[in-house]
């Protein structure tokens, strides 16, 4: 069977520095997959390569049988891929509701846009209250909600979320994940999430792919990762002298 | 003697021209971090499009003969077309180039346009008369003001409001503002880079044509070097306004126009020929105090 997303032998390098080396992975329709690994493992480069924002030097990427490699980011977005980037990348000078509208230009069902915006405001009431406020004035958690809402407004089939927990209080992170899971169940989305914490991933549930030094070093149930030492090995190599407590954070 | 009202209209009309030229530059800088030094040549190109191509000293009106209701849209279209064509031929191939490389290629493009004009029309400035009736003075608030000055001030206000509405209320405007702030993110949301950039060039070119119409009427001269002077002032206005900031470009355009007229009026006679030296001293002071410009733009980061 053809998988939802197929990454085959993909390499990315920035100048002479390799960021990803021959990465192969597959996502099935409706699956929830976490990408984890230490800083510099190539997590964001992988998302960048899939979304078209970062050029690949080798390999190919397919979604629903369409070749993504070599396509412009806007063309990939049109095929049904949406992105909640690291650091959220909200348009701070635009209002909350304008942020939600930016991604609706690719939709053919323009008539449904207004209704969908109201739905986002129902899911995130705080965004509805501040719909005419400048998005730059929102708190970090609210901006994360807005980034998710903005990505949903393109009506994606596959959504990628880069470090949704970055810079947010644990309570807010719980909310963000509750929302993501709920949205996935409602819409049948396929989710690819970068998440540093295996315990967090295990709690949410799903498959986990572990990257290290630009290569896949592990692939399995997130809960299994949380129990095993695999993650700390990925972080600190074979040296057991390093403290392990940070890995779980 | 020059009255206060007279000074005001002088300042407002000169500032209006600078503001529109600066807007044309700021629009393109906003979406692709390109300081388009060919912008002044778009203006010169539009002025020369008014007359019949020949190297004769006497200009014969060509497009300039058309009635205003026809001439204005045609020339705006021509300006937009020239700008879009230059994007297609030159800048589209430089999307991944550094801002410096793009800027240098815009210089090159400017020279190409200027020399093409030189080859076709000759180097001597030509007298042209477009809408001469507009230079007849009318009495406003006790001052004798050429009708054209009033029209320039009104046109500038109209253009600024129309542009603000377009940016605020249309799909293209929304995409342009999003792209100006974060181009990559906008593209990840399906915003087509080509549409936004072509749109910015078209608007910029139409603004150049509007400036060309005003300059041709006001000065009555077509000169292949006319683009350089206005480009210099407009570029300074975009820098003082904060590169990429549209309100900043408009405000700084008016500021420079106003300062220029005030210096002209109040400098002692013997130093008046050096007015521009004083003007640019003010510019330097302005940049020393606020290097990021009067209005810091949110878009002053790399494109990709």
CA distances from residue B164 to B174, B212, B247 in whole angstroms, order as listed: 11, 21, 9
From the number of C-beta atoms within 10 Å of its C-beta (0-12, 13-18, 19+), residue A70 rates as exposed
Q: Which residue of A has its CA nearest to B194?
A: A74
Question: Residue A247 — very low, low, confident or very high, per pLDDT cuts 50/70/90?
Answer: very low
Question: Mutate which of A73, A82, A152 to disrupt the B interface (most B C-beta within 10 Å)?
Answer: A73
The arithmetic mean of pLDDT across residues A159-177, rounded, is 88
Tell the burial category of B42 from Cβ atoms under 10 Å away from its Cβ (0-12, 13-18, 19+): buried
- Name the DSSP letter for residue B292: T
State chain A's mean pLDDT as an integer. 87
Residues of B in Cβ contact (< 8 Å) with A92: 181, 298
| Percent of chain A's residues with pLDDT above 90 | 57
pLDDT score of A235: 64
Q: Indicate the pLDDT class of residue A23, thresholds 50, 70 and 90.
A: very high
Is pLDDT of A249 > 70? no
CA separation for the pair B177, A236 (Å, rounded): 44
Lowest mean pLDDT among A110-119, A188-197, A233-242: A233-242
H or E element that contains B182: none
Å from B198 to nearest chain A CA? 16
User: Does the CB of B87 have a partner CB in chain A at under 8 Å?
Assistant: no
ipTM of this complex prediction, to 2 decimal places: 0.87
pLDDT bucket at A167, cuts 50 / 70 / 90 = confident
Between A232 and B116, name the one with better pLDDT: B116
pLDDT score recorded for residue B2: 61
Of A72, A92, A154, the CB nearest to B189: A154
Q: Which residue of B has its CA nearest to A103?
A: B189
Determine the pLDDT at residue B304.
33
CA-based max dimension of chain B:
60
> Could you give the dihedral angle defined by the CA atoms of residues A196, A198, A199 and A201, in that order, rounded to the nearest 10 degrees?
90
Per residue in A185-231, pLDDT tens? 988 899 999 998 888 888 898 999 999 999 999 898 888 877 775 55
Of A91, A85, A87, nearest to A134 by C-alpha is A91
Domain layout of chain A by residue ranges: 29-41+80-236
Contact with chain A for residue B68, Cβ under 8 A: no
Burial class (CB within 10 angstroms; exposed 0-12, middle 13-18, buried 19+) of B266: exposed
Q: Is A161 exposed, middle or buried (0-12, 13-18, 19+ CB in 10 A)?
A: buried
- Residues 6 or more apart whose CB falls under 8 angstroms from that of A35 comprise A43, A46, A47, A192, A193, A194, A195, A208, A209, A211
Tell me which CATH homologous superfamily contains domain A29-41+80-236: P-loop containing nucleotide triphosphate hydrolases (3.40.50.300)
Query: Average pLDDT of A49-61?
Result: 94
Q: What 3-state class would DSSP assign to B51?
A: strand
Q: Which residues from chain A sit within 8 angstroms of residue B298, using beta carbons?
A: 92-93
Distance from CA of B91 to the nearest CA of A (A): 18
Q: Which residues of B touch A89 (CB under 8 A)?
A: 182, 185
What pLDDT, on the 0 to 100 scale, is given for residue B303? 36
- CA-nearest residue to A153 within chain B is B189
Residue from A71, A94, A95, A102 to probe the interface with B (highest B Cβ count within 10 Å): A102
- Reference A232, options A245, A216, A217, A218; nearest CA is A245
Predicted structure pTM score: 0.84
Rounded to whole angstroms, the Cα distance separating A97 from A106 reads: 17
A74, B187: Cβ pair inside 8 Å? yes
- Angle at A118 (CA atoms; ends A116, A124), nearest 5 degrees: 105
Name which of B9, B45, B51 is nearest B24 in CA terms.
Answer: B45
Q: Which residues of chain B have pLDDT under 50?
A: 1, 298-304
Q: What is the pLDDT of residue A237?
A: 59
Q: Average pLDDT in the A122-142 region?
A: 91
Distance between CA atoms of B100 and B107, rounded to whole angstroms?
11
Please report, in angstroms and rounded to a whole number, the separation of the first and last CA atoms in chain B.
Answer: 56
pLDDT at A231: 56
Put simply, the answer to whether A94 touches B181 (Cβ < 8 Å) is yes
- Looking at residue A200, what is its pLDDT? 87
With an 8 Å Cβ cutoff, the interface of chain A facing chain B consists of: 51-53, 72-74, 77-78, 82-83, 85, 89, 91-94, 98, 101-103, 105-106, 150-151, 154
Query: Helix (H, G, I), strand (E, B), or coil: what is residue A61?
Result: strand
Token pair in block for residue B34: 């390109």
């Amino acid at each position: 069977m053809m998988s939802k997303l197929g990454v085959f032998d993909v390499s990315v390098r920035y100048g002479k520095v390799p960021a990803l080396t021959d990465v192969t992975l597959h996502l099935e329709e409706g699956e929830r997959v976490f990408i984890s690994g230490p800083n510099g493992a190539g997590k964001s480069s992988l998302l960048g390569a899939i979304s078209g924002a970062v050029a690949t030097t080798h390999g190919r990427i397919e979604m629903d049988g369409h070749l993504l490699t070599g396509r412009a980011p806007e063309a990939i977005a049109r095929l049904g891929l949406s992105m909640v980037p690291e650091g959220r990348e909200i348009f701070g000078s635009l209002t909350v509701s304008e942020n939600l509208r930016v991604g609706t230009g690719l939709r053919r069902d323009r008539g449904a846009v207004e209704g969908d915006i109201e739905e986002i405001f129902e899911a995130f009431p705080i965004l509805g209250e501040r719909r005419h406020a400048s998005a730059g004035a929102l708190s970090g958690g609210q901006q994360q909600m807005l980034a998710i809402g903005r990505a949903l407004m393109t009506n994606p089939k596959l959504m990628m979320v880069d470090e949704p927990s970055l810079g947010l209080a644990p309570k807010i992170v719980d909310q963000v994940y509750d929302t993501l899971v709920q949205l996935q169940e409602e819409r049948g989305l396929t989710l690819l999430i970068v998440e540093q914490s295996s315990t967090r991933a295990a709690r949410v549930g799903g498959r986990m792919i572990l990257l290290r030094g630009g290569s896949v070093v592990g692939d399995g149930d997130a809960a299994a990762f949380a129990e095993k030492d695999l993650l700390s090995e990925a972080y600190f190599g074979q040296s057991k002298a390093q403290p392990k407590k940070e890995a779980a954070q | 003697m020059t009255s206060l009202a007279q000074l005001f209209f002088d300042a407002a009309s000169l500032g209006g021209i600078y503001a529109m030229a600066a807007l044309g530059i700021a629009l393109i800088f906003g979406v692709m971090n390109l300081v388009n030094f060919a912008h002044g040549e778009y203006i010169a190109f539009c002025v020369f499009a008014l007359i019949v191509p020949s190297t004769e000293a006497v200009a014969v009106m060509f497009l300039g003969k058309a009635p205003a209701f026809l001439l204005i849209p045609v020339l705006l279209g021509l300006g937009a077309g020239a700008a879009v064509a230059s994007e297609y031929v030159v800048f589209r191939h430089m999307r991944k180039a550094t801002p410096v490389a793009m800027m240098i290629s815009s210089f090159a493009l400017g020279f190409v346009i200027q020399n093409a004009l030189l080859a076709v029309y000759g180097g001597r400035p030509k007298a042209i008369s477009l809408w001469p009736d507009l230079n007849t003075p009318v009495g406003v608030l006790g001052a004798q003001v050429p009708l054209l000055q009033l029209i320039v001030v009104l046109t500038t206000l109209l253009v600024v409001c129309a542009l603000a509405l377009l940016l605020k209320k249309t799909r293209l405007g929304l995409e342009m503002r999003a792209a100006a702030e974060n181009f990559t993110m906008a593209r990840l949301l399906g915003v087509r880079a080509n549409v936004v950039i072509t749109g910015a060039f078209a608007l910029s070119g139409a603004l150049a044509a509007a400036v060309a119409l005003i300059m041709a009427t006001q000065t009555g001269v077509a000169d292949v070097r006319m683009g350089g002077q206005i480009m210099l002032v407009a570029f300074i206005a975009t820098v003082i306004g904060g590169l990429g900031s549209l309100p900043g470009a408009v405000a700084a355009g008016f500021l420079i126009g106003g300062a220029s007229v005030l210096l002209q009026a109040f400098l002692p006679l013997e130093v008046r020929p050096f007015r521009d030296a004083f003007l640019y001293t003010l510019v330097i002071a302005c940049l020393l105090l606020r290097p990021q410009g009067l209005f810091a733009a949110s878009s002053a980061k790399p494109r990709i």
